[in-house]
Amino acid sequence: MCGFVGFTNYIADDGRVLGHMMNAIVHRGPDSAGIYLDKDIALGFRRLSIIDIDGGNQPMFNENGSLVLTFNGEIYNYKQLRDELLELGHTFNSHADSEVVLHGFEQWGEEVVSRLRGMFAFVIYNKDDGAIFGARDMFGIKPLYYTTSENSFIFGSEIKAFLHHPEFKKSLNEQALAHYLSFQYSPTEETFFEGVYKLPPAHSFCFKNGELTKKRYFKPEFKSSPGVVDFYADEIDKTLRESVEAHKIADVEVGSFLSSGIDSSYIAEAAKVDKTFTVGFESDEGDRYNEIAFAKTFADTIGVENISKVITPKEYWETFPKIQYHMDEPLADPAAIALYFVSELASKHVKVVMSGEGADELFGGYRIYQEPITLTFYDRLPFALRRIVSKVCEYLPKIHGINYLIRRGKTIEERYIGNANIFSKKERDALLKSDIAKTAPEPKVLCDKFYDEIANKDDVTKMQYLDINMWLMGDILLKADKTSMANSLELRVPFLDKNVMELAVTLPLDCRVNNTTTKVALRRAAQKTLPRVTAQKDKLGFPVPIREWLREDEYYNMVKAQFTSEVAEKYFNTKKIVKLLDMHKQGKTDLSRKIWTVYTFLVWYNEYF
């Protein structure tokens, strides 16, 4: 696992500038560094050595030196591709997986991305024609950002590196703030930095003669096939175990994260790792926010070591600004901090860990996916009538049950924007001062293109498809990459594998969710080797006691200081955000998610601006 930066080269003192940019991402690759400089381009690379530790240094060149590669990720089918390329006459100088990308591009051009099985972001510079080709894996596991200045095209693994380029002008993208207040993450190709973009998952780009063109090379297609749960459970078990074996390829020890749920437990058992890692929180509510005891019991059951840490509230709050710095963009998912601490813990023992990200999106794991199939008497009323009730309820006080009536009078396309739906457009416009932010489109508009792509499918499939394209990349994988890399730890996700995806899209609806449970077939598969209590356990997902902390004087005052700061005055109606905080502290309603979303932005802003 690594990090890279680069820019088309029209500046003086390019080596010093490149060095500063590389230093900004040294956490992604503390083991070694490499640079390539010529009159047209500057490329910098930081390496975390996992495969072919003594070889595999970058930037990497093809046989005649005409192509230069910087690569971040792992290619799990690299041995097969290497053999194929050797038969075609290519010469390899290392046993690193990254070299197959270089020779693969030499052989197949941009089509190489469709042959890769793994997680990756890379850039290849062609000396002969000056073209820069880049690509990102099909899920967006690894990040790739880019921007253009007056004279340069700048790209890299993290935005913070751009701050050290003399032509980069740091400016807040206020529309991104509006989107973020609804989604709790940055949901579009734009970022919080004006003019900086993220390459979407499953996309490649070519930059040549000052022009950037992008191309999507993969799109998930749900095509449910008939079959019973037991059949799919067998197929899932076989396919996932093969994926885990592929993801274990490394020249260093591999460990695994372990919570109390099915996803990480299934991975840990299948991988037969020696070490697992778990974190929990101090709380007055017992074990509600602490999965350590359950994880240790499971680890004993499968005969592996479990290393754990209890996070104190003081640690959580003090480390939070540092974590937002590492994110590049604000992310209001409280679980990101837990992921940072478990990554920090694991990095003291191993260089690589496996985790269970992606299982919920692919196999139907979120409880909200049950909503379209859980029909009540009210749902059997004519939709036109429910729609009228919904419109009326939008103007009523938000008492218990009102939100249900509002949602049940809307189509899935109108009501579902992903797992997080923090502020409505009306709510966020009331909070924001900026006219630029207020002109941002409604949250659902950002989802329309994905709903259009899957318009003929059932509502559950539509929700999954939206989450795979937005929530997974914008929230789940952002925090997975940035928190692990902040600790120089490689995180691998066997559920997010090409072969696993090919199977997941064929599952019938009743093998994904039913009225009583989620991940139906996956749970059946897990029960083959996991205790039933683990295979059937409800999802928790790094529960964090934010709700109760915000009612304690110490943390209430900490947040209030931010809510009444000059920065808050610049962007928000401070009376309204303080009112949210006060209402929550008084116990009138749980507004912790809304409060945390605003607070996170303010903390992030202080780190960068």
Pair 234, 122 in one domain: no
How many structural domains is the chain composed of? 2
* More confident of the two residues 596 and 226: 596
Range of the domain at 523: 229-277+292-300+333-365+465-535
Q: What pLDDT sits at residue 405?
A: 85
Domain-embedded: residue 77: yes
Pair 44, 138 in one domain: yes
Query: Residue 395's pLDDT band (boundaries 50, 70, 90)?
Result: confident
Q: Are strands 305-311 and 41-47 parallel, antiparallel or unpaired?
A: unpaired
Burial class (CB in 10 A: 0-12, 13-18, 19+), 432: buried
Domain-embedded: residue 585: no
Domain-embedded: residue 480: yes
Per-residue pLDDT tens digits for 343-386:
999 999 999 999 999 999 999 999 999 999 987 778 888 888 88
Per-residue pLDDT tens digits for 428-478:
999 999 988 889 999 999 999 999 999 999 999 999 999 999 999 999 999
Query: Residue 553's pLDDT band (boundaries 50, 70, 90)?
Result: very high
Pair 235, 92 in one domain: no
Pair 51, 87 in one domain: yes
Whether 292 has a pLDDT exceeding 70, the answer reads yes
Average pLDDT of span 310-328 = 95
Pair 100, 141 in one domain: yes
Whether 502 has a pLDDT exceeding 90, the answer reads yes
Q: What pLDDT sits at residue 286?
A: 54
Whether residue 81 contacts residue 49, with contact meaning beta carbons closer than 8 Å, is answered with no
Distance, in Å, from the CA atom of 290 to the CA atom of 179, rounded to the nearest integer, reads: 32
Whether 209 has a pLDDT exceeding 80, the answer reads yes
Q: What pLDDT sits at residue 570?
A: 97
Question: Which of 488, 504, 535 is the last residue in one of the domains?
Answer: 535
Query: Residue 102's pLDDT band (boundaries 50, 70, 90)?
Result: very high
Average pLDDT of span 114-120 = 97
Here the CATH number for the domain that contains residue 518 is: 3.40.50.620
Given the residues 2, 393, 447, 511, the one annotated as active site: 2
Average pLDDT of span 185-198 = 98
Pair 7, 129 in one domain: yes
Query: Residue 555's pLDDT band (boundaries 50, 70, 90)?
Result: very high
Average pLDDT of span 552-577 = 97
Average pLDDT of span 495-511 = 97
Domain-embedded: residue 455: no
Q: What pLDDT sits at residue 332?
A: 97
Q: In percent, how much of the chain has pLDDT > 90? A: 80
Pair 173, 253 in one domain: no
Query: Residue 149's pLDDT band (boundaries 50, 70, 90)?
Result: confident
Average pLDDT of span 571-598 = 95
Pair 139, 101 in one domain: yes
Q: Is the peptide bond prior to 372 cis by the omega test (within 30 degrees of 0)? A: no
Q: What pLDDT sits at residue 341?
A: 96
Amino acid of residue 302? I
Per-residue pLDDT tens digits for 229-270:
999 999 999 999 999 999 999 889 999 999 878 999 999 999
**Token pair for residue 340?**
């940072």
**Closest to 417 in 3D by CA, of 458, 374, 454, 446:** 446
Whether 288 has a pLDDT exceeding 70, the answer reads no
- What rounded mean pLDDT belongs to the chain? 93
Q: What pLDDT sits at residue 121?
A: 98
Pair 89, 170 in one domain: yes
**Token pair for residue 303?**
């005969």
Here the CATH number for the domain that contains residue 125 is: 3.60.20.10
pTM summary value: 0.95
Whether residue 257 contacts residue 340, with contact meaning beta carbons closer than 8 Å, is answered with no
Average pLDDT of span 103-115 = 96
Q: What pLDDT sits at residue 541?
A: 57
Pair 119, 234 in one domain: no
Pair 271, 193 in one domain: no
Distance, in Å, from the CA atom of 416 to the CA atom of 419, rounded to the nearest integer, reads: 8
Query: Residue 219's pLDDT band (boundaries 50, 70, 90)?
Result: very high
Q: Which residues pair with 241 in a beta bridge?
A: none
Span between the terminal Cα atoms of the chain, in Å: 29
* More confident of the two residues 410 and 354: 354
Q: What pLDDT sits at residue 396?
A: 82
Pair 84, 6 in one domain: yes
Q: In percent, how much of the chain has pLDDT > 70? A: 98
Distance, in Å, from the CA atom of 572 to the CA atom of 579, rounded to the nearest integer, reads: 12
Q: What pLDDT sits at residue 281?
A: 86
Whether 535 has a pLDDT exceeding 80, the answer reads no
Question: Which of 478, 501, 535 is the last residue in one of the domains?
Answer: 535
Q: Which residues pair with 280 in a beta bridge?
A: 310
Question: Which of 190, 216, 242 is the last residue in one of the domains?
Answer: 216
Q: What pLDDT sits at residue 284?
A: 63
Asked about 447 being catalytic, the answer comes back as: no
Distance, in Å, from the CA atom of 373 to the CA atom of 260, rounded to the nearest integer, reads: 27
Q: What pLDDT sits at residue 539?
A: 66
